[in-house]
Structure 1
Amino acid sequence: MSTPAPRDPVRDWAQSGVAALTGRPDGPPVIPPGRAATVARELADRITDASGGRVRLDGALLLSERAAFTERHRAGAISVGGSCRLLPTSDGWAAVSCARPDDPSLLGALVGADVDDDPWPAVESWLREHSGADLAERAELLGVAAGPVLRPEPPPVPPTPLRPRDVSGLLVVDFSALWAGPLCAHVLGLAGARVVKVETPSRPDGARRGNAGFYRLLHGGHESVVLDPAETGDRAALAALVAAADIVIEASRPRALIGFGLDAEDFVSRGGTWVSITAHGRASGRIGFGDDIAASAGLVAVDADGPMFVGDAIADPLAGLTAAALAMSMATDRPGMLWEVAMSAVVAATLTDDVAPPPYRTDGGWWVDSDFGPVEIAGPRRRELAGMAPESGRDTDSVLADLGLRR
C-alpha cells in the first residue's frame, strides 16, 4: 500500500485549481471551507492502491479539470458554467439551476409567472418573498434543480470503501451521464475494466453537447450502445447486457430503472456491484446538478456580499471519485454490493469549521500560507487525451454479438 503524503487542506485547495475558480470575478481567489480537495486526494490514493499502481491521479486536480477545457473563470454568485445562481430568499440564500432547455418554463411554473428565455428577474423577485423551505418543496414537485443553502448538523457520512479489489477485465455497464458517473466509469476503465456506455434514443448523454475535449477525456476507449427499452427486442437485450455485467453505474431514480425492467437489488443478490449516484439519495425525489447540490449542502465561500460558488460543479467530480473508490472495493461477508452515493452527503461530509487564511498577491501571482509554508494558488490543469470517444450507438451490434446477445 502506498504511503500518502502529509495533508493540509489549505495546500490541497491551493494546488487543486478550485481556489482559482472561487471568488468574485474582479476579486482575489478564495480558499474554500472544508477539506474536499484533501478528501479527493485520499480517494485517489485508495484507487491507486486498489489498482496496484495502475491508476495514478491527483484527485484534487480532478475537481477543477472541466474548467481547464472550457477555460471558464470564477464568477462569484454565478456558477463557473453560468447555469446556476446564488440568490437571496426571505430567510437566507438559495442555489437555483437553469441548465436544461425546459428549465426556463419550469422556473416560470415554480414562481407562477410567464417568463421568456430569461427567468431570472421573476425568480429573484419570488425568492425574496419566500423561504428556502418554500423553494425546496416546489422545486421537488416540479423537478427543478434548486434548494436553500444549508449546512446539515452533523454532516452525513458517505459510505466507506471496504477491501480493495482489482477491476481489470471486469465488464462495467454505465447508464450515467454528465460528469459524476462518467468520471467513475473513466477511472474504472483506466484500471483495466471494459466500459460500455448505454444511452437511449430519446435521452443521449447531455454532455455530448458540451466541451468535446472533456467528453473525449472521460469516454475515450469506451464502447457505446444505444437501446430503446420501449422496444421488446431492445428491452430484452438491455436486461441481458446488465445480467452479463460485473459493475453497473447509474444516476437515475429507482422508479425510472424499474420502468426499464432493471432491478438493482436482484442484480446485487446475484453477486454484482451496483453503483447508484443520486443528488440527495435514492429515497429522495429531489434532483440536482453539481453546483446547486454543493451549495445546498453548505459548500460555499462567503464574503461581505454573500455566498459564492466553490469551484465548478464540484459535487460531480467529488462524487465520481467516491463512486470509483467504492466500486474498486468489496465486502467480505457478501458477494454483491449496492453502493449508494448521495452527492449532497458526499459534499457535506467534507465540511469543517476551520477558517482558511486569505490569499495575497506577490510576484505576479496569488499565494496563501499553509502548514507547509507559502503555496501558490494554481489554476485548473488538464490531462492528456487518450483514445477517441465513440459516437452514440457505434458499438451496439458488436457489443451484443460479442456477449452472445440478440436484440
Structure 2
Amino acid sequence: MQFFPANISIDQFLSGVCGAYSNKLMADLGIKVHPVSNLQVSHPVDDWLASGLLHSRNGAIADKLCPVPLASCAIAAMKCFCALSDLQIPDVEQGAKMLGCRSLITGFIPMGTQSAGKSCHLISSLDGQIALNLARPQDWESLPALFATEAPVCDWESVRHHSRQLPTKQLLDSGRLLGLAIADALASDSSTPSWFRIPFSVHNTQEALRQTPLKPSPVIIDLSSLWAGPLCSYLWQQAGAHIIKVESTGRPDGARQGNLEFYQLINQGKQSVSLALDTRQGQKQLENLIRQADIVIEGSRPRALRQMGIHAEALLASNPGLTWLSISAYGRGKSAQNWPGYGDETAVAAGLSRILYQVCGTWRFCGDAIADPLTGLHAALAGWTAWRSGGGKLIELSLYDVVRHCIAVTAPQDNDYSRRYREWEQYLLQIPARPAIKKLTIQCSTAKLGQHNHLYLQPESTLVKNFCDSNLAAR
C-alpha cells in the first residue's frame, strides 16, 4: 500500500550507499524520486566517523569498525525525513550523529562484551552465545529463577558461570517468561524484512484519503519513553509539530532517571502531562487526549494499553484522520509481541554481533544501543508520511526489524563481510588522524513532570488552542 498519492515526489539528493538506501525507503513508502546532478557521495567509513561511535582518541580508533553501513542508513533516513517535512539541518551527517549522541554526552563506549550503558553483556551459554540486558534493578531478582538455582546471583561473574551450564533455548524461553531482555547472538536470518508494517488501516484505497486541507502542524500525543520514540517525536517537534509528552504518575519515563543532558536533548520543546494511568479516571483522560490528536506515538507492548481499555484499532476507526505509530522491540506479532527488549540486545538478535564476530574473531557490541536511534529515525519518516497521506493507519516498527532491514539491504553481494571489513579498514588507515572526540554538552531545559496538566485535563480543553496559548505565554 502506498502512503502518498502518486503525484508526490522529491528530488534525489544522495548517491552511493546513502543514495541507494534512501531510494529504497522512498520506494517502500510509494514516493517518486527524481534523479538530479551533483549528487553528494560519502564512503560508509566516513559516515561511521561522523557518528562519533568509532571514538577517535588522539588519532587512534578505540572501537572496531562495523562492516554494516548503519551510519549511512541513518543519514539516508534523516535526509528523507527532512525532504518530506522541509526541516533544515546543519549538515548531511546529522543522521549519523544521532546514532552517537548519547555516547558523546556520557563518554560511555562499548567495551567488547559489555555494552556502552553497562547493563547488557554478551555471555556464553552451554551451546552458544547470548546477550542479556539487566536494565532494571528488579531484573537481577529474576536471575535465580532464570538459572534454576537457589544461590544468589549478584554480579556478572556469577551470571556468566550459571549461563555456561544451560542451553541457549532454555535461557531464551525462561528469560522471556520472566520478562527479561535476552537474545540469541548466533541466530541467523537472511530474509529482508519490511522496516514498517501496517497491521490496520481505515482507508483501503487512495481515493479514501482525507479530503480536508492538512494542518500546518500536527498535535502529537507522545506516550513513548527511553530513546527511539522520544527521538522520533523530537524530530517531529523540530519540524514544527506540537508534542505533548504523556507519562504515568507511577511510572514516568525511565530516561528521567538517567543522564540529564541526554534526556534534555531528545525531550526539549515538549509539554508534559502526567496521568494516574492505573485509575479509570486517568485512562479516560488519556483517551480524551488521544481523540483530539493527529498522531499518537507509543512504545509499549500492545497488552499494556489494551489493559487500560485503549485500543488503537477502535480509536482509529472512530477518528479516521488519526495516525497511530507503534514502536516495540520485536513487533506486534503474536509470538514476539510480549518479548521485552532494548537497543543493545535487539541489535544483537538482528545479527550485528554475529557479523562482528565473523570478521573480528571476538564478541562485541556495535555502538550504543544502536537499534534505538536507528529506529527513531525510521519511525519519524514513516509516521510523518502516514500523517501527510491522511492518517487512518496503525504503523508498526520494531527495533529488531529495522536493524535486520538495514543489514539485509546493504549486505555485500557475495555476503563476504570479511572482505568488506578489510577494504574498509584499509580506507580508514588512509584517512588523516582526526582530533580527539570532545564530549557533547547540552544546554537546554525540559518540562517538569506534569507541568502542563492544568492546560489539558479540563473538560473543555482543546489541545491545539492550549498548546499555542502556552507557547505565547512563555515568550
Which TM-score tier does this pair reach, normalised by the shorter chain? 0.7 to 0.9
Aligned residue in 1 for 2:445: 388
- Contact 1:69 / 1:214 at 8 angstroms: preserved in 2? yes
Q: What residue in structure 2 maps to residue 231 of structure 1?
A: 279
Deviations 1:321-379 (A, max 9, x none): 1111111103898741211111101111122233444599xxxxxx85169x6365787
Superposition pairs of residues 304-383 of structure 1, within 5 angstroms: 306-330=362-386, 335-351=391-407, 352=411, 353=415, 354-355=417-418, 356-357=420-421, 369=427, 374=431
Q: Which residue matches 1:11?
A: 46
Structure 2 residue runs of 5 or longer lacking an equivalent are 1-9, 15-39, 199-205, 464-475
Higher deviation after alignment, 272-281 or 28-37: 28-37
CA 376–337 in structure 1, closer or farther in 2 if over 3 Å, else same:
farther
Aligned to 1:152: 189
1:404, CA displacement in angstroms? 3.9
Tell whether the 8 Å contact from 2:264 to 2:445 is kept in structure 1 after alignment.
yes
The letter for the 2-side match of 1:156 is P
Q: CA RMSD in A?
A: 3.1
Deviation at 1:222, TM superposition (A): 0.6
Relative to its length, the structure with more helix (as a share) is: 2
Alignment partners' CA distance in 2, 1:229 and 1:65: 32
Q: Which is greater in Rg?
A: 2
Match of 2:82 among 2, 25, 48: 48
Instruction: Kindly indicate whether structure 1 or structure 2 has the higher relative contact order, using CA contacts under 8 Å at least 6 residues apart.
Output: 1
Q: Which moved more, 1:377-386 or 1:182-191?
A: 377-386
Query: What is the one-letter code of the residue matched to 1:286?
Result: W
* Contact persistence 1:315–1:344 (CA under 8 A): yes
Matched, 1:93 2:140: no
**What code does the residue aligned with 1:403 have?**
S
8 Å contact kept, 1:182–1:218: yes
Counterpart secondary structure, 2:124: strand
Name which of structure 1's ranges 77-86 and 347-356 shifts more when overlaid on structure 2: 347-356
Change (3 A) 1:60 1:85: same
Partner of 2:470: none
Aligned residues: 394
Residues 166, 50 of structure 1: alpha-carbon distance in 2 compared, 3 angstrom cutoff? farther
2:154 aligned partner: 118
Counterparts of 1:333 and 1:395 in 2: how far apart (Å)?
30
CA contact (8 A) 1:185 1:324 kept: yes
**Does 1:108 pair with 2:144?**
yes
Structure 1 pair 279/376, CA: closer, same or farther in 2 (3 Å)?
A: farther
Distance 1:333 1:312 in 2: 34
1:392: how far off? 0.8
Amino acid at match of 1:278: S
Label 1:115 to 1:240 Cα distance change in 2 as closer, same or farther (>3 A): farther
What is the percentage of aligned positions where both structures have the same residue?
A: 31
- How has the CA–CA distance of structure 1 residues 333 and 396 changed in structure 2, closer, same or farther, with 3 Å as cutoff? closer
Q: 1:159 and 1:378, CA in 2 relative to 1: closer, same or farther beyond 3 A?
A: farther
Distance 1:404 1:231, change over 3 A: farther
| 1:187, distance to aligned residue in structure 2 (A) | 0.5
Segment drifting more, 385-394 vs 278-287:
385-394
2:137 pairs with 1:137? no
Corresponding residue for residue 363 of structure 1: none
Work out the CA distance in 2 between the residues paired with 1:259 and 1:167: 32
- Which one has the bigger strand percentage? 1
2:329 match: 279
The alignment status of 1:222 with 2:280, answered yes or no, reads no
Distance in 1 separating the partners of 2:360 and 2:462: 62
Question: What is the aligned partner in structure 2 of residue 297 from structure 1?
Answer: 350
Asked if the contact 2:105/2:441 (under 8 Å) is kept, the reply is no
- The verdict on how the C-alpha distance between 1:304 and 1:38 changes in structure 2, with shifts beyond 3 A counting, is closer
Give CA-to-partner distance per residue, 1:63-92, whole Å, 9 cap, x none: 011011111133111001111100112222
Q: TM-score of the superposition, structure 1-length normalised? A: 0.87
Q: Structure 1 residues 304 and 321 mapped into 2: Cα distance closer, same or farther (>3 Å)?
A: closer
Q: Which residues of structure 1 form unaligned runs of 5+?
A: 361-366
Following superposition of structure 1 onto structure 2, how do residues 134-213 of structure 1 map, counting pairs within 5 Å?
134-149=170-185, 150-159=187-196, 168-213=216-261
Larger mean Cα displacement after TM superposition, 42-51 or 115-124:
115-124
Provide the C-alpha distance between the structure 1 equivalents of 2:432 and 2:309, rounded to a whole number of angstroms: 52
* Post-superposition offset of 1:246: 0.7
Q: Structure 1 residue 271: deviation in Å? A: 2.2
| Corresponding residue to 1:75 among 105, 108, 111 | 111
State the alpha-carbon separation in 2 of the partners of residues 332 and 52 from structure 1.
Answer: 12
1:29 positional shift = 2.4
Q: Please give the alpha-carbon distance, in whole angstroms, between the structure 2 residues aligned to 1:276 and 1:375.
A: 43
